[in-house]
Chain A
C-alpha cells in the first residue's frame, strides 16, 4: 500500500490523534505569534533606546492580549464597490496557507515513548512526514501569492492595488532564488523528506561541523545557500528591509489598507506564522534541525536546558515579587517557580532514571526550538536595524544578484557531490 492509500484507510484512532495534534499545534502557534509581536516590539524598542510596551501587565506581557481584544472589537468596515467574495477570500486564503505549512515541520526525532500510545498509534512529534515534504512547503509558499494579490485587487482602491501588485511581483521573484538555494541541500541529502535531511546532519561524531552549513562530507558547505535562502525568505515574507509594498510612508498600508479588525489580524497572523515557518526551515535545512552542536560523547552538554531554565525561572520569581498587582505577585512567581522546577527536574536526571529519559528526550526539540528562536531574533534584529529598499533596487537584488548566486551554488555543490559524495 502506498502512502496515499494507507492514509485513506486508517482507522478512527489515527484521525482523532491527528485532529488533536492539529488543534494543539494551532493553539501553540497562535500563542507564539501573539508573543512574537510582543517580542518584536520590545526588541526593536530596546534597539532604538526606548522601552516598548511596559504598561499592560508586567513588562508589557499582556499587550498581545490587549491587541487581540482590540482587533476583535473594532468595527468591521467593508468598503463599497468591492467584490465581496474575493475581498473575504483573500485574508482567509493567506491565513490558511500560512498555517497549513506548519503541518510538515518535524519538531523532534523520536515519538513519545511506549506508555504514550494512542490506540496503538505512536505519537510522533509532527503532524505528517511525507516523502516530498519540502516540495509541499514550496507549493504552499507558491500559492501564498494569491492572498496578497487578491487582497490588493479586491479592495477597489489605488494604493492597495499598487501595493498588492508590487508585493506579489516581489514574492514571485524571490520564490525562484528561495527554491534554488535549497537545491544544494537537496543534492547532498538526496531526498525531499525533512526528517531525512535532518538525520543526514547527524552530529553525534563531529558536532557542529556536520551541519549542512559547515559540512564537508559528501558536499560543499552551504554558507552561500543559507545566505541566499534567508535573504530570499525575508523578501518572500514581506519583512524589512523588503517591505516596501506595505510601508506606511509609501503606500499607506499597501495591500491591507482597506482591511480592518479581524481580517487585518488574519494577514498579520499569516505574516508572523510564515516567519516562524521560514525560521524552522533555516534551522532544519542548514543548521542541523534537532541535532545538538556538541558531539554525542560530551554528555555533560545534556544539561544545558536546565542551565538555561533554572536561572530564568529564578529571575522571573524575583522580578515578579516586585510588582503590586496580582498578576505580578502571584502569577509571575508561580510561573517562575514552575520553570525553575522543570529545570531542576531535568538536572535531577543525573540520578533518577525516568527523569533521565525525559531529559534525553527533550534534547532534540530543545535544540530545534532554540535555533528557531535564534532566527526569529535575526528577523527582528533586521527590522530594527535596516532601512528599506526601493522597489527597483529590490527587484534588481532578486533577479540580478540572488538568482545567479544561487544557481552558481547549485552548480558548485553538484560538482562537489559528484566528486566526493554519496559513496
Chain B
C-alpha cells in the first residue's frame, strides 16, 4: 500500500462520508457543510493527480464562492430542519435498490471496460498553470469568451430576479 494509494483511500472515504451526510442530515446547513467537505476532499484528490491549478480553483470558486452563496441563502430564508414526510411506497422500498443499481451499473461499466481506460503513463506529471492558460487562450478561446457572456447573462438574470415588484 503505497502512500499515494493510502491518501487516495482517505480522501475518497472522506468524500463518500460527506456525500452520505448530505443525504442523511436533516438541516440544510449541515448538508451544505457536508458538501463543502466533499469539495475540499475532491480538491485534495485533484492535487494527488497533479492538477494543482484546478484544485486551487475548485477551493476558491466552488468552496469559497458558490457554497458561500448557498450558505447565505439558507441563512436568509431561515431554513429549518426538514419535516418528516411519508415517501410513496415505491420510493421507500424501491429507492435504495434502484440507487444501488444505478451506481452499480456505472461502476460495472468502468470495471468491465477497465482495459480501455489507460493508467497514466506519466503519473507524476504536474500540470503547469502556464500550459493550461496557453490552452485556454489558444485552443479553447471561443468557449472562454462564451463563458464570459454566460456570466454576464447570469448577472443580469440575478439582478432581474432580485428586483422588487413595481407598484404601478
The dominant DSSP class at the B interface is helix
Q: Which 6 A-B pairs have the closest CB atoms?
A: A142-B64, A8-B3, A135-B56, A139-B59, A2-B124, A2-B126
**Residue with the highest number of chain B CB atoms closer than 10 Å, among A2, A141, A168:** A2
In the complex, chain B residues whose CB is within 8 Å of the CB of A168: 68, 72
Q: Mark B48-68, 1 if CB is under 8 A from A, else 0.
A: 101011001001100111001
Q: List 25 A-B contacts (CB under 8 A).
A: A2-B50, A2-B124, A4-B4, A4-B48, A4-B50, A85-B30, A86-B30, A86-B33, A131-B126, A131-B128, A132-B53, A136-B56, A138-B56, A138-B60, A139-B63, A142-B59, A146-B36, A149-B71, A149-B75, A161-B75, A165-B75, A169-B72, A175-B64, A190-B130, A192-B129
Which A residues are CB-close (under 8 A) to B4?
4-5, 8
Q: Knowing that A143-B64, A145-B68, A165-B75 touch, tell me 10 more A-B residue pairs with CB under 8 angstroms.
A: A2-B126, A4-B4, A135-B60, A142-B60, A142-B63, A152-B75, A153-B29, A153-B71, A161-B75, A168-B72
Interface core residue of A136, A143, A169 (most chain B CB under 10 Å): A143
Contacts of B71 in A (CB 8 A): 146, 149-150, 153
| B72 with A149: CB separation less than 8 A | yes
A142 touches B125 (CB 8 A): no
In Å, the complex CA distance between A152 and B30 comes to 15
- 1/0 per residue, CB under 8 A from A, across B67-78: the answer is 010011001100
Q: How many pairs of residues, A versus B, come closer than 8 Å at their CB atoms?
A: 84
Provide the bound-state CA to CA distance between A4 and B46, in Å.
Answer: 11
How extensive is the interface on chain B, given as a class? Answer: 20 to 34
B42 within 8 A of A: no
Main secondary structure of the interface of A (DSSP, over half): helix
Is residue A3 contacting chain B, with contact meaning CB distance below 8 A?
Answer: yes
Chain B residue contacts of A192, Cβ below 8 A: 129
Cβ of B7 under 8 Å from chain A: yes
How far does the Cβ of A384 sit from chain B's closest Cβ, in whole Å? Answer: 32
Number of residues from A at the complex interface, CB < 8 A: 36
Contact B52 A131 (CB under 8 A): yes
**Residue of A1, A138, A139, A143 with highest tally of chain B CB at under 10 A:** A139
Q: Does A172 contact B (CB under 8 A)?
A: yes
Return A102 CB to nearest CB of chain B, in Å.
18
- For chain A residues 66-123, which have a beta carbon within 8 Å of chain B? 83, 85-86, 89
* Nearest B residue (CB) for A6: B124
* CA A169 to CA B27, docked complex, whole Å: 23
**Which positions 150-171 of chain A face chain B at CB distance < 8 Å?**
150, 152-153, 161, 164-165, 168-169
